[in-house]
Structure 1
Amino acid sequence: MKNYVQKGNTVSVIAPYLVSSGQGVLVGALFGVAAHNAAQGASVEIVRKDVFDLAAVTADTAAQGAKIYWDNTARKLTTTATNNTLVGCVTEAKANGDTTARVLLDGVTR
């Protein structure tokens, strides 16, 4: 097919801020996990699907399967939907005090 470009699980975006490998990145409606370090304004590959351990709001709790959102100001996962972007669901319960959450990214743009 002559109009095919690439698979969409990993895409290149322009880093909106200094990005570390393994960090969540939100660019418009695209959310993914950085595959490598990148300076602000540089191209970075983000992985949009699969399961990752990402930084999360420490005080939040979530049951397995609960929806999880990206707080782009704090650059962390959160259970708070208001003003945040839905990115997937937690695959393991998250307790108060946990600094990370295990999240299944669904790759859907919102």
Structure 2
Amino acid sequence: MKNFIQSGCTLTVIAPANVLSGQALLAGAIFGVACSDAVQGAQVEINRFGVYALAAVTADTGAIGVKIYWDNTAKRLTTTATSNTLVGALATPKSGTETSATVLLDGVIR
């Protein structure tokens, strides 16, 4: 195909804040995990699909498949939908004592 540009699994975006490799970020409506460290305003490649362990609200709980959202103010995952961005679903159960969650990112723009 002459019009194919890339798969979009990894995408270059402008870092909305300082970010470390492995941290999640929301660039406009595009959510992903940084492939490298970047300072705010610099280009950074992000992975938009896959399973990642990311910072999450400790008190939140859920079974495999529960929808998971990104709280862009607190910079962590949550099961609370209100004012947050849906990014995927829990890939493993999450207890109310864990500070991270294992999430399946689906790469859908919302």
Query: What is residue 66 of structure 1 aligned with on the other side?
Result: 66
1:6-85 to 2 correspondences below 5 Å: 6-85=6-85
Secondary structure in structure 1 of the residue aligned to 2:87: strand
1:107 aligns to what? 107
Question: Aligned equivalents of 1:15 and 1:107: distance in 2?
Answer: 17
Compute the displacement of 1:63 (Å).
1.2
Q: Provide the C-alpha distance between the structure 2 equivalents of 1:24 and 1:77, rounded to a whole number of angstroms.
A: 9
State whether structure 2 residue 2 is matched by structure 1 residue 2.
Answer: yes
TM-score calculated relative to the size of structure 1: 0.97
Deviations along 1:8-27, one digit per CA (max 9) or x if unpaired, are: 10000000000000001101
- 1:93 deviation in Å? 0.7
Gaps in structure 2 of 5+ consecutive residues: none
Report deviation, 1:77. 0.2
Question: Which one-letter code corresponds to 1:87 in the other structure?
Answer: V
Deviation at 1:5, TM superposition (A): 1.2
SS in 1 for 2:88: strand
The sequence identity of aligned pairs, in percent, is 63
Point out where structure 1 has 5 or more consecutive residues left out of the alignment.
Answer: none
- Structure 1 residue 69 displacement after superposition: 0.2
Deviation (angstroms), 1:44? 0.4
SS in 2 for 1:25: strand
TM-score, length basis structure 2: 0.97
How far apart are 1:4 and its partner, in Å? 1.7
43-52 or 3-12: bigger deviation: 3-12
Count of matched residue pairs: 110
Runs of 4+ aligned residues of structure 1 deviating over 6 Å after TM superposition are: none
Give the whole-Å Cα distance in 2 for the aligned partners of 1:18 and 1:97. Answer: 28
